Amino acid sequence: MNYYIETYGCQMNFADSEIVASIMNDNDYKLTKDIKNADVIFVNTCSIRDNAEQRVRNRFKEFYSLKKKRPSLIVGMLGCMAERLKDQLLEEERILDLIVGPDAYKDIPLLIENVRKGVKGINVILSSNETYSEIQPVRIDSNGITAFISIMRGCQNFCSYCVVPYTRGKERSRSADTIITEAKRLFENGYREVTLLGQNVNSYNFTSDKESISFALLLSDVAAINPLLRVRFATSHPKDMSDELLHTIADHPNICRSIHLPVQSGNNRILGLMNRKYTREWYMNRIEAIHRIIPDCSVSTDIIAGFPGETETEHNDTLSLMEWARFEFAYMFKYSERPNTAAAKKYTDDIPEEIKIRRLEEIIKLQNKLSYESNIKDINKTHEVLIEGVSKRSKSHLFGRNSQNKVIIFPAGEHKPGEYVNVFVNRCTPATLIADK
């Protein structure tokens, strides 16, 4: 039996699909890249914004014709949307045979057996301790050089706009031993970069009878595996970004000089309504600490435009904070009301669509300028690049990233993916650094 898996959403969801693949392979199913050969189709879904769910809904329409041609085809929805909508989906998406939430993936083989007997399968039970710690993920679409490692699951920060605490359940940390073993195994298999993943990695804490391991400790243990293994991590929550962690990064050259620190808004009233638990001043203090302790560190962020009640002045506070912080990169979104979140219950989604769009455009325009200016500063310098693969635009060029997470394109010469190479960047676009020789 062959299965096909399609993934939407964040990096954690991509890591989860690799866990599902491992569970399936252990049960004698085979991964196929060709949907037409699949006996089982999984869609691992995201609920973070309404448009994320709409994309999946549209994709399901395409599956109708496949299922019509082959009624034995099993279609399953996994992930956050499955968790959020639960059995309501059985009514809304008639072709669905399986609905499995993020903590129930070990149950999939059994649920498939039941589907074959004619019983639709649903398991959306959230767990307070499942971390899939002992499962060795099967790498899907891997470049063989960079990989993600989930180090924790869930989130209980309850930012008022966010669906994740409801779809992913309580925060829990995976055992440090299994994380380090997985990273070692990746290195032995030729991988040269691991990204440690969690919704708020700074609050990682694994406690056993023997010890209590903080994120800073975990990070230095992973960095100690080999100097040739780069270590990245995401996402950091500003409220938990400690100087101790910044010193750990500074002490290890192979921990990348790149921190993703979502700010969401530059205005204190809005940050309060968002339940982010920090102020503009606290955030600025953390950015100053980053630059003081790790002078060559890049900072990226996430921003939401048009939160309920956001005034023009409050929006301008976000723009001025961006100017001040000079982010290297940002993910930028319009506020999307998510059913049952605190924001949906307490506030009216009252910023008209055209104003949300205009504010988002202003944010994007400013960020493009900041990214370009930051890239221009990197010209006429030598950068150490970990080569990830062949450039999409030219077969004679390779691409990789520097420690600051910027993409660099350069002539291939004799080099191969997985190697470190020093390249002299002589020009750039707003998105890429380029070395012509």
Interface residues toward ligand SAH, by CB under 6 A: 48-49, 161-162, 199-200, 235, 237, 262, 264, 302, 304, 333, 335-336, 338
Two tokens, residue 41: 């189709």
In contact, 297 and 287? CB cutoff 8 Å: no
Closest distance of CB 149 from ligand F3S, Å: 16
Residue 237 near ligand SF4 by CB under 6 A: yes
Closest distance of CB 59 from ligand SAH, Å: 21
Region of 321 on the Ramachandran plot (φ > 0 left; ψ -120 to 50 alpha; else beta): alpha
* Nearer CB in complex with ligand SF4: 132/161: 161
Residue 165 near ligand SF4 by CB under 6 A: yes
> With contacts defined by CB under 6 A, how many residues of the chain interact with ligand SF4?
10
Closest distance of CB 42 from ligand SF4, Å: 23
Closest distance of CB 46 from ligand SF4, Å: 12
Tell me which of ligand F3S, ligand SF4, ligand SAH, none is bound by residue 206, counting a contact when its beta carbon lies within the kind-specific cut-off of 5 to 8 angstroms. Answer: none
* Nearer CB in complex with ligand F3S: 307/399: 307
In contact, 350 and 385? CB cutoff 8 Å: no
Distance from chain centroid for Cα 242: 21
395-425 in b/e burial notation, b at 16+ Cβ within 10 A? eebbbbbbbbbbbbbbeeeebebbeebebeb
Residue 169 near ligand SF4 by CB under 6 A: no
In contact, 82 and 59? CB cutoff 8 Å: no
* Nearer CB in complex with ligand F3S: 81/290: 81
Count other Cβ atoms within 10 Å, centred on residue 15: 21
Closest distance of CB 16 from ligand F3S, Å: 8
- Sequence-distant (6+) residues with CB within 8 A of 91 are none
Using alpha carbons, list the distances in angstroms from residue 63 to 36, 70, 95, 327: 11, 10, 8, 41
Segment contacting ligand SF4 by CB under 6 A, of 58-66, 153-161, 317-325, 404-412: 153-161
Pick from 238, 255, 262: nearest CA to 297: 255
Closest distance of CB 301 from ligand SAH, Å: 8
Write phi, then psi, for 313 (nearest 5 degrees).
-65, -40
* Nearer CB in complex with ligand F3S: 167/195: 167
In contact, 299 and 348? CB cutoff 8 Å: no
Cβ-proximal residue to ligand F3S, closest one = 9
Closest distance of CB 297 from ligand F3S, Å: 25
Tell me which of ligand SAH, ligand F3S, ligand SF4, none is bound by residue 49, counting a contact when its beta carbon lies within the kind-specific cut-off of 5 to 8 angstroms. Answer: ligand SAH
* Nearer CB in complex with ligand SAH: 191/283: 283
